Amino acid sequence: MNKNQIKKLIYQKELEIKKLHLHQASNQAFESLYNSLILEKAILKKELEKLEKNNLIDCLKRVLPKKEKLICDYFKS
């Protein structure tokens, strides 16, 4: 899926959640459906974050060592 499709699905889930929010406390079935929609929305948000993340930069960060400062570096003048 691409970003636009995921964004549309997240929007649809938000609308369904708003509709069920009023009936959530009245019935156990509504409550379980509400909880499942919340989980599906969270999963879709994670997928969207993964798509928006720049994989090239993450690979470079893992490959290139970062220079760590030692305590003695702070006292050098």
Q: How far apart are the first and last CA of the chain?
A: 54
Q: Is the dihedral of CA 22, 37, 18, 16 positive or negative?
A: negative
Distance CA 40, CA 22 (A): 19
3-48: pLDDT as tens digits: 899 999 999 999 998 888 877 667 788 888 888 999 999 999 999 8
User: Looking at residues 57-73, what average pLDDT do you find?
Assistant: 80
Domain range holding 14? 3-74
Distance CA 8, CA 48 (A): 11
Per the document, the length of the chain is 77
Number of separate domains in the chain: 1
Provide the CA 76 distance to its chain's centre, in angstroms: 43
